[in-house]
Structure 1
Amino acid sequence: MNKTERQLAITLELQRNKVLRAEDLAAQFETSVRTIYRDIQALSEAGVPIVGAPGQGYSLMEGYFLPPVGFTAEEAVALLMGTDFIEQKLDGEYVCAAKAARRKIEAVLPEQVREESVLVRETMRLIHVGESVAGWKEKDYLGQVRRAILERRKLSFTYLKKIPESDGKRENRREVAPYGLVLVQGNWVLIASCDLRQDIRHFRLSRMRELIVLEERFSMLPGFDLSRYRPPDDRNIRIRVRVNPDIVDKIAESANFYMEAMEGRKDHLLVTFRVRHPEELLPYILGWGEDVEVLEPETLRIRIREVVEKILKRY
């Protein structure tokens, strides 16, 4: 942070707080108290009405606001909740930026709007469950991938697939040209041109291992626009399931992405799913237990029977 940025930040902090000591400002901006004294003097000479009270600290003259931005409480809440979301989902660089942005937003709010926005925010929360070690690793990868996209540098990583290949392998080494990042159902997904597949592919950051940002540069495919990009729907396998009506809400919540149709019957529902691989739906079906029965395809019925028999042997 240079001198100009620090002095603006000091002004915003004084606007946000009634009184601040030089020692508090020095600790916050990681500088010396003497530097803070010089900054306060420079701001005063520039016309910022700073009042100093011996033994108490510095404050801004009442009624002074910088810059003159007007937000309603609802607008302030929208912006502040946005910073909450960024803190939870982006990497460290943007976490610091989000915190700084929140301090600036709170600083420019008139006291009445700030107090009202606090009351509104207390009624709404983005619930963030503590992340595992893998979650923190994903955030680290997010920062590396994000910078590689901006610098147009290729990536290399080992990718763990959800469904094994025909040879039984679940992981292989990929080299890709990263085009963009998308947050899908709480998971960061990289959209990239894959050298191995010679096509655009999607990679969940949580399944990446041994990520390396390469020196090799790339050029994006002509006409590619992440905001307009829509992946091809290659869910070509249909699965039909007889369902107990009592758990229809549970099925809709957990497997909505795969669901294609739902038909009412006298004592049950007939639900049709569309998937790329039958194995994708297997964990859901096993979780629904006796309340569902797979009608087709027969290969999935056989697969479920095999899994259940293995479970029975364990118990």
Structure 2
Amino acid sequence: MKRAERLLDLLALLLNTRRPVPFSEIREAFPEDYGDCSEEAALRKFERDKADLTDLGIPLEYQAGDELSDEGYLIRRERYALPAVKLAPEELAMFFLAGVAALHLEASPFHDDLLLALNKISWAAGSREDAGRDFALPRSLGRVPQEGNPRLQEHLGALRRAIVARKSVTLSYHGFWRDEVSQRRVDPYGLVLRRGAWHLVAYCHTRRDIRVFLLERIRGLSVNPLKPKTPDFEFPEGLKLSERVAREPWEIRSHPPVRARIRFEPPVAEAAVAEFGHRACQVEQDGESRILELEVTSLDGLVPTVLWYRGRATPLSPPELCERVQAAWRRIGEEHA
């Protein structure tokens, strides 16, 4: 029996039973594949097939037996199939539009997967009775050429495979603050795209903490080649990748949180309040001016934001922020003198 056919039959066997299936029964069900060799050789062959199914995302697991239950292999149906998501035609159209826009992202590692998903959505939408005469999605999308940084494309592809296989990665990383390249062994948890830049969220064995790495600063990487079918780590329960990546430069985690107070003068005062929104811990009114208090983990990252308001924003505290903004204004004055 061909390998693909054997994997499909093995999947069908385990899905069509409610109890764990011992290897002895699996061997009897596939006499041409697992029955014409020694038990040790058959088990090795089955382990390779099991690893292939796991790589495809099939939740195949082994259950140890006890007095009340049998031992064997099984696929839990609640983990194998996700419940159907019902979207209104308008919601489906917006979802499709967002996906098409994502296809044009530079070096997206999920391009092929997204293209396949969008084509499935378009074909399913065409058969809906509630879509209406004016509702239509393209019946087929072609591959969008991926242009841009070849090194970024290579790194994104390698990291995507490492994340799926849960394999550790060694990075050559150019740090921003120390301006030097260092070697980091990390457990990659996921990739996040924020404001056009790709970030890697990973556990850093050097820092012994979860850190965020900007892909543009990765000079080279290598995935652990040992035991490629065996995961090196588990994804932390409850971890939300998007919450780990700073939305603003002053949210980059370069030091413990400090409170910064900035006075905004009219006519930008109200606009600044709206711009910072919920990130402002406190807003005080001082005549037509507004004083915002922020929790900051990168004072250096806050400096460009203050400068952007062109003299309409004045830092009040901490002293380190005031000094850095004054130094930045002096440098600007010297460069344009």
Normalised by the size of structure 2, how large is the TM-score? 0.57
Q: CA deviation at 1:160?
A: 3.5
Instruction: Work out whether 1:73 is the aligned partner of 2:89.
Output: yes
User: Hey, what does 2:239 align to over in structure 1?
Assistant: 226
Secondary structure of the corresponding residue to residue 106 of structure 1: helix
Query: For residues 1-315 of structure 1, what are the structure 2 equivalents within 5 Å?
Result: 72-89=88-105, 94-108=110-124, 109-110=126-127, 113=131, 116-118=134-136, 133-134=148-149, 137-162=151-176, 164-165=177-178, 169-216=179-226, 219-221=232-234, 224-227=237-240, 236-248=257-269, 250-252=271-273, 259-315=280-336
1:153/1:216 contact within 8 Å kept: no
2:81 corresponds to = none
What root-mean-square deviation, in Å, do the aligned CA atoms of Structure 1 and Structure 2 show? Answer: 3.8
SS, match of residue 251 in structure 1? helix
Q: 1:86 touches 1:94 (CA, 8 Å); kept in 2?
A: no
Q: Corresponding residue for 1:41?
A: none
Equivalent residues of 2:167, 2:233 under 8 A apart? no
Shift of 1:261: 1.8
Which amino acid letter does the alignment assign opposite residue 267 of structure 1? E
Task: Deviation per CA, 1:35-61: give whole Å up to 9, x if none.
Answer: xxxxxxxxxxxxxxxxxxxxxxxxxxx
What's the CA shift string for 1:56-108, capped at 9, x where partnerless? Answer: xxxxxxxxxxxxxx975224314422532441448566323433433343334
Q: Take 2:222 and 2:270, find their aligned partners in 1: how far apart are those partners?
A: 43
For each residue in 1:225-270, what CA deviation from the matched residue of structure 2 results, as whole angstroms up to 9, or x when unmatched? 4359965987521111111142245535665585322111113111
CA contact (8 A) 1:255 1:284 kept: no
Equivalent residue, structure 1, for 2:51: none
Cα distance between partner residues in 1 of 2:265 and 2:285: 11
C-alpha distance in 1 between matches for 2:324 and 2:109: 46
Q: Percent identity?
A: 23
Counterpart residue identity of residue 123, structure 2: A
Alpha-carbon displacement from aligned partner over 1:144-164 (angstroms, at most 9, x marks no partner)? 2111011122112233444x1
- For residues 175 and 73 of structure 1, what CA distance do their matches in structure 2 show? 46
Q: 1:313 to 1:94 in 2, by over 3 A?
A: closer
| Letter aligned with residue 206 of structure 2 | L
Deviation at 1:302, TM superposition (A): 1.9
Q: Distance in 2 between matches of 1:92 and 1:236?
A: 33
Q: How far apart, in 1, do the equivalents of 2:97 and 2:328 lie? A: 44
Count of aligned residue pairs for this structure pair: 233
Runs of 5+ in structure 1 lacking a partner? 1-69, 122-130
For normalisation by structure 1, the TM-score amounts to: 0.60
Deviation at residue 194 of structure 1 after TM alignment? 0.7
Deviation at 1:170, TM superposition (A): 4.9
Deviations 1:156-189 (A, max 9, x none): 2233444x14xxx354321211122334455433
Partner of 1:153, secondary structure, is coil
Q: 1:274/1:87 Cα in 2 relative to 1: closer, same or farther (>3 Å)?
A: same
SS of the residue corresponding to residue 206 of structure 1 reads helix
